[in-house]
Structure 1
Amino acid sequence: MILVTGGRGFIGAHTVRALLDLGEGCVLGQRAAGPPPALVTEREVRDGRAVVEPMDCIDLGSVLAAGKRHRVTGIVHLAAAGMGASAPLEELSANAAGLFTVLRAAQEWGVGRVVVASTIGVYAGVPGPALREDAPLPVASPHAIPAGKKIAEVVADVAASSGLDVVTARIGAIWGPLGRPSSPFFAAPRLVHAAAQDIAADGGVAGTVAGTVAGAAAPAYAEDAIDMCYARDCGRALALLQTTATPRHRTYNIGGGRAVANREVAAAIGRAVPGAEPALLCALFPGRSPAAPAVDACLDISRLRQDTGYAPEWDLDRAVTDYVGWLRAGNPR
């Protein structure tokens, strides 16, 4: 079985779903107790193909306990300290300790592969437009998250040189079912939620769409763009990295392969939710943010395509329609 740390979380749930679709069984390691995510079927739980295990990645004993109950053959390590839940140094310490614990467990179990989550944020300061895995990364980081992921990548490289099969995944801006309704890094989630909330409220698109978006903490500019990857595609990419027989590299980008502007997102929502686009466009600031880079960068996903056969299946229109449908159906987030 594949251990997915943080398996009940956002990206974790989609990774579990993709692994199950590939015929793998999954152990969902999660610090907080609770049921399997909505993407897992009751039958898969009854059949023992998806099992939730209480686990604190900082506690080696709690991680190793899962290996006594299940034959763990691979690990996708996604668990991390809650963003902003503690001081930056404490967050870095907890995440580093969790990674060391997972790698120690991998050694003891003799697992086939460990996939370690990194982020597009490690490329901050790298010139675009296409961000490649072999680009030199600056040592400094503007935020605790990319700083922690750079630490994780160095540790993963050392583990790989010590004989473990470790692959690092630099993940772009992920959005979709079970994700946060608002992100501090890009506007798409709150644009979709704003339109979906109006539908739920009165069956149409009212002025609260604009109010919801305009009232957000971070202004959303029409021309600001970011490499967006739909959560279902992200989960499948991580599952492929875990199960591909012989990856040729140790670091892979996971993204959509292009930068998507907020105005494109608004237009796609308008096609999925007639009447939403004008309100959303009114809520967006014109042009680009003063803090936006001169060139919109995207993740080069050539390695991922070549080594795993991955290609994004959820284009913008299909993804928006799916996400709106998920929210209208009353699903969580």
Structure 2
Amino acid sequence: MILVTGGCGFIGSHTVRALLNLGEDCVVVQRRASELPPVLDGTRVMVEQADTTDRDALLAVGRRHDITGIVHLAGSYPWPPVPDAPVEATRQALGGLLNVAEAAQEWGVRRLGIASTIGVYLGAAGDGPLREDAPLSMTAPGSIPTFKKVGEMLSGFLADTTGLDIVNYRISGTWGPLGHPDPFFAAPALIHSAARGAAPDLSHLVHPAFAEDGLDLTYVKDTGRAIALLQLADKLNYRTYNVGSGRATTNAQISQAIKNSVPDAQVDLPTGGATPHLVLDISRLKEDTGYHPEYDTERAAADYITWLRAGNDN
């Protein structure tokens, strides 16, 4: 049985669904009691209410279930990004990661997977797709990439000293059902506006959106499946894997894909913008798991719009 922290969240719920599709049983832990998300309706998922920062509550889960693997997708970083008590927020974030590692050791799990982010590459030198062995900058712009870099270093230390099989997932920009408008890319907001028949509100973006802006974007169903394959692979040759599409998707391509489903969608963006950047090399992922993305931009946009128009509100 695989335990998934954050298993009722955006990427987590799709990862659980993929694990179930591959024949695994799953238990998810969530901080607050809530209904399962729609993508898990009718499934055999077991739910435990526990916070990863509560060591005793987390370890108790392993006494009620035979946990053979852990996928740690719950946020191991301070939230909000600028907390009122930064020292305590840091203690909580790192404590949650260490509690999960302790649980993995106590339960004797086969593999512990930990979510990282494409953001760790910000500031990295070089052209072309980003490889996992690329040198990373010692600084990071913001709490999430900062704590993901720290988490990767800690997980390497813990793997060396405990013998645990710990794998880092450097996850690309991800969009799809259960997702919300993202501050770093426009695709979710464009999709939501098209489904509602309204003009998009992009005021939440960190930077203005232009048609030629691009990023490695992955549909969440592919992201979840990739993580599931990494968790279940018989043998992995590395500790760190890029999880993405392996290509840049521009806002112009997103807009055209939306218009193929909603011809009158108001999703055109002004021309200009940076050259597509932050594209992940996913060779390791493909070679060690057989993964290939199933959703191109057009199929992803059509699927997401259908989801939203079926009455789902996120």
In structure 2, what is the equivalent of residue 125 of structure 1? Answer: 123
Select 1:84's aligned residue among 74, 81, 85: 81
- After superposition, the Cα gap between the structure-2 partners of 1:217 and 1:231, relative to the gap in structure 1 and judged at 3 Å, is closer
Are positions 1:38 and 2:33 aligned together?
Answer: no
Are 1:128 and 1:297, in contact at CA under 8 Å, matched by a contact in 2? no
Of 268, 272, 282, the residue aligned with 1:287 is 272
Change (3 A) 1:297 1:99: same
Alpha-carbon deviation of 1:96? 1.3
CA offset digits 1:178-224 (Å, max 9, x no partner): 011x11110000000010111xxxxxxxxx41xx3355444211111
SS of 1:130's equivalent? coil
Q: CA 1:299–1:71 in 2, change beyond 3 Å: closer, same or farther?
A: same
Distance 1:117 1:214, change over 3 A: closer
2:114 paired residue among 110, 113, 116: 116
- 8 Å CA contact retained: 1:177, 1:323: yes
The equivalent of 1:70 in structure 2 is 65
* 8 Å Cα contact 2:26/2:45 also seen in 1: yes
Conserved? CA contact 2:184–2:205, under 8 Å = no
Task: Say if 1:274 and 1:295 are closer, same or farther in 2 by CA, change over 3 A.
Answer: closer
> Helix, strand or coil for the counterpart of 1:170?
strand
CA distance in 2, matches of 1:89, 1:128: 37
Q: Which amino acid aligns with 1:125?
A: G
Task: For structure 1, list consecutive stretches of 5 or more residues without a partner in the other structure.
Answer: 199-207
Are residues 1:61 and 2:56 paired?
yes
- How has the CA–CA distance of structure 1 residues 103 and 262 changed in structure 2, closer, same or farther, with 3 Å as cutoff? same
State the 1:95 CA deviation. Answer: 2.1
What is residue 170 of structure 2 aligned with on the other side? 170
CA contact (8 A) 2:7 2:28 kept: yes
Inter-partner Cα distance in structure 1 for 2:58 and 2:113 = 16
| Residue 221 (structure 2) aligned to one of 204, 218, 232 | 232
Identity %: 50
Q: Secondary structure at the match of 1:275?
A: coil
**CA root-mean-square deviation:** 1.5
Letter in 2 for 1:77: H
Partner residue, 1:204: none
Task: Tell which deviates more after alignment, 16-25 or 90-99.
Answer: 90-99
Deviation of the 1:94 alpha carbon:
2.4
Q: 1:85 and 1:140 mapped to 2: Cα distance?
A: 17
The offset of 1:36, in angstroms, is 1.6
Q: CA deviation at 1:85?
A: 7.2
> Following TM superposition, by how much is the alpha carbon of 1:285 offset from its aligned partner in structure 2, in angstroms?
2.7
Q: Secondary structure at the match of 2:51?
A: coil
In 2, the alpha carbon distance for the partners of 1:41 and 1:224 equals 36
| 1:14 corresponding residue in structure 2 | 14
- Counterpart CA distance in 2 for 1:121 and 1:90 is 24
Partner of 1:205: none
Query: After TM superposition, which residue ranges in structure 1, 4 or more long, deviate above 6 angstroms?
Result: none
TM-score (norm: length of structure 2): 0.94
Runs of 5+ in structure 2 lacking a partner? none
CA contact (8 A) 1:228 1:256 kept: yes
Deviations 1:38-80 (A, max 9, x none): 11132x3xxxx31110111011111111111110000000111
Instruction: Report the CA distance shift for 1:225/1:89 in structure 2 as closer, same or farther (over 3 A).
Output: farther
Q: Would the aligned equivalents of 1:128 and 1:298 in 2 still touch at CA under 8 Å? A: no
